[in-house]
Structure 1
Amino acid sequence: MQITIEELSSVKKKIKFEVPAERVSHEIGKVYEKIRKQAAVKGFRKGKAPQSYIEKYYSDAMADDVLRNLFNESYPKALLDNKLVPVAHPLLESDGVVAGEDLKFSATVEVVPEIGNVAYEGLQVTKETFVADPVKVEERLQQIRENMAQFAPAAADHAAAQGDMVVIDFEGFIDGVPFPGGKGEDHSLVLGSGSFIPGFEEQLIGLNGGAEADIKVTFPSDYHAKELAGVEASFSVMVKEIKTRELPALDDDFAKEMGDFENMEQLRNRLEETIEKQEKDRIESDLREQLVKALVEKNDCEVPQTLVDRQLESMLDGAKKRLESQRMSLAMMGMDDDQYKTQFRDVAEHKVKSSLIMSALARQEGVKVEEADIEQQLKKMSEESGHNYDRLKEFYTNNAQANESLVEYLIDEKVFSMLMAKAEITEAAKS
């Protein structure tokens, strides 16, 4: 059998096969014999139908089986001999199976690109210098304080203001006709939250409890209910109650409510430590992104679109799950699946490129994960999560997929350490 490779691109190959007539005829004979033994032919006992009859009525099935058998026999060997790693099923094409003639067929397949020597020394990146900022501690305290705020009934003469909660009944109309989903009773709305149709909340400011109002709005052009997108509507609103936000005092009692703290000084110290860790983690993450971007730019390569499509599907699935956890959807973001894929295709392609190049670099430098590396990581995970070490070890030992993910993570960590050790890192304050 003769096998040749046509290079359609660095990630797409057309593998051509030419099988000698003698080999084809032998395979045809084997297939016909198998069909003859299995075929139930009217007028003949099973396995006793004459060869001429079998060839007349089963020629298409024979051709399919012969092609499949010769493909299965030769394709894996062609991949192995040419060091090709497919990422999808091949497109199989044939001139047809004819007894006494050579058989020519081809398999067009996307493959992992062959990445040569990965250049990774001297990547130029900028690392943000960490600077402790007491203001951030106070901002975080204020956020916590606002989250712990309680709403209490306002004075009778209090006019609704930004930050207040109003309890309303409402009914929406389009051209004077109520529309589905446009009615609500005892609906609590925090003014300034942006949780209602744009322009609605602003028209409630200044109203007193018991007031009625006619509010006119226009639904956004990208509104998730497409039949309402861009439509003008009016709402009849009754303000049933106004509540004002009452913030707790920042004192030692507040600190004690937040956990194992005796006073505000201890709470502030803990917040300072937390913010410092979060900021340093953010700086580290940004540095890694820069390193990967610089590595890809220095070793750019073509990637199989099949892998990009898979990455996009994974990203889309993750985005949907995150939105669902927040009781939201892509439609509420003014986007469908195709629009998401179009918008994030470049991101997916970059992820695929970086993964392939990082893997190639790991192979190039002989990066390996030892048992000691896994044990050290499991101990770290145990300390950070509070999970029992032995149970963690048992889980990763018995779960092949989880163990593989852990090994991949540790390889990436070692590769990142190599990149940082060889990079030209400039430290600079945040601009």
Structure 2
Amino acid sequence: MAVTVETLEKLERRITLTLAATVINSEVESRLKKLARTVKADGFRPGKVPMSFVAQRYGAQVQYEVVNDKLGEAFSAAANEAKLRVAGMPSIAQKDEAAEGELAFDATFEVYPEVKIADLADAEIERVAAEVTEEAIDKTVEILRKQRRSFAQRGAADVAADGDRVTIDFEGKIDGEPFAGGKADGFQFLLGEGQMLEAFEKAVRGMKAGESKTFPLAFPEDYHGKDVAGKEADFLVTVKKIEAQHLPDVNESFAKALGIKEGTVEALRADIKKNLEREVKFRVLAKNKGAAMDALVGKAELDVPKSLIAGEAERMVANAREDLKKRGIKDADKAPIPAELFNDQAEKRVRLGLVVAELVRSQNLQAKPEQLQAHIEEISQSYEKPAEVVRWYLSDRERMAEVEAVVIENNVTDFILGKAKITDKQLPFDELMATA
């Protein structure tokens, strides 16, 4: 029988589903008989509970389940018959009027939109590139040295200088009153590394162990502590201890301590360069991918199903709760996080997903087996045992699905960059690494 599809607005559709009462009743009776074989009730042996008792206790529940199952089957059959691509779950409501012996329901739902992508040759994209310089390697070596530095207490006559680790007691007051977070005893920080506000570091710089000082400090307007942002406080600080840092020399011992088998400084720098080049490659790819995707969405015309936006927003809420849980927040799974907070971001994700899917379909940009293998092997090179990482990916469908998604995105990016008007820009290494 032909299915009548009513268009409500844009992507919203409605169809009427009918179920024969005899079919429902027959299925309910069958399920109740099956249930009666295992149901337990006081005064009756298992399998001997009267059908009247089973029907009275479980009839409504079974009726609800049967109707839901039959509606699901009827909706799926109707959608297939009408060749509809249903987006999200339908909303089903029973109709007051129906033919004798039938139950009638209205199923309201959305369909996937038609996606139109304009000529990408008109898109303008800035494609970035970056290289690993000797200066970048030097900075990385210094970071590694600092990670392995040691400290020795300075003499009584020495003053605190940049690079020293200082231990202090401090108390701050605003208008003569203490404030939350404004007091600490035995607090340690590294002077000159931006761990404290510059005014605080400036006051401590040049002090001796055992010395105290009072100084004013103006909190920035954008300070993370909203209660004190933009206000001026008076601080009393006492230096308890000053320790000078010692950085290890860059030599064979240092290289071996970092796991360099050859144990030479040259091998260490080569290893650092290799790792930095891998990181630069992924960051450049991410930036260019983002620019390409923005250009693609800008050339696309479509309506976005509200049901898909709502579903994506709910997933983002679940992810937010999971993140809170990992941070140790109590009752994170019950955190009152409104899905509406994520609507804009969810809409962007869904829109991009629909546009990318259309481009992949129309241009045959699916991931090829050799691309999947190459991507996994590239990832594995940053681990100590690459072969085990490759097996780890290949042994799990979900992990392989994640790899496939990345490869498809790369294919889409390459396709867009191959069509658009490209302006190349060389990014300084530090600027690239500073981006999220």
Q: TM-score, normalised by structure 2?
A: 0.70
Q: Are positions 1:158 and 2:173 aligned together? A: no
Partner of 1:13: 12
Shift of 1:299: 1.3
Would the aligned equivalents of 1:170 and 1:183 in 2 still touch at CA under 8 Å? yes
Q: Deviations over 1:164-212 (max 9, x none)?
A: 3211234677888878877644332223455458865444334321123
Would the aligned equivalents of 2:314 and 2:339 in 1 still touch at CA under 8 Å? no
* Cα distance in 2, alignment partners of residues 275 and 33 from structure 1: 69
SS of aligned partner of 1:160: coil
Shift of 1:241: 0.8
* CA 1:421–1:171: 2 relative to 1, 3 Å: closer
Shift of 1:287: 1.7
* Cα distance in 2, alignment partners of residues 349 and 32 from structure 1: 42
Q: Are positions 1:279 and 2:280 aligned together? A: yes
* Cα distance in 2, alignment partners of residues 36 and 253 from structure 1: 78
* Cα distance in 2, alignment partners of residues 313 and 110 from structure 1: 23
SS of aligned partner of 1:89: strand
Would the aligned equivalents of 1:125 and 1:291 in 2 still touch at CA under 8 Å? yes
Partner of 2:45: none
Would the aligned equivalents of 2:127 and 2:425 in 1 still touch at CA under 8 Å? yes
Which sits farther off after the overlay, 395-404 or 210-219? 210-219
Would the aligned equivalents of 1:311 and 1:348 in 2 still touch at CA under 8 Å? no
Q: TM-score, normalised by structure 1?
A: 0.70
Query: How many residue pairs were aligned?
Result: 408
Q: Deviations over 1:118-169 (max 9, x none)?
A: 7555643222354664433333344344444433322322333444321123
| Runs of 5+ unmatched residues, structure 2 | 42-48, 429-436
SS of aligned partner of 2:5: strand
Alignment of 1:206-355 (within 5 A): 206-214=206-214, 237-249=237-249, 258=258, 259-260=260-261, 264=265, 267-303=268-304, 304-310=308-314, 312-313=316-317, 316=320, 324=327, 342=341, 346-355=344-353
What amino acid sits opposite 1:93 in the alignment? Answer: A
Q: Deviations over 1:40-98 (max 9, x none)?
A: 9xxxx94469xxx99xx999879856853552232112332344444543322223376
**Pick aligned residue for 1:364 from 362, 365, 369:** 362
Partner of 1:399: 396
Q: Are positions 1:26 and 2:22 aligned together? A: yes
* Cα distance in 1, alignment partners of residues 109 and 352 from structure 2: 22
Shift of 1:305: 1.4
What amino acid sits opposite 1:355 in the alignment? Answer: G
Would the aligned equivalents of 1:220 and 1:229 in 2 still touch at CA under 8 Å? yes
Partner of 1:332: none
Alignment of 1:172-187 (within 5 A): 184-187=184-187
* CA 1:116–1:213: 2 relative to 1, 3 Å: same
Q: Deviations over 1:356-400 (max 9, x none)?
A: 2222222223344454444444444445534364x5565445423
* Cα distance in 1, alignment partners of residues 15 and 210 from structure 2: 82
Shift of 1:294: 0.8
* Cα distance in 1, alignment partners of residues 296 and 405 from structure 2: 18
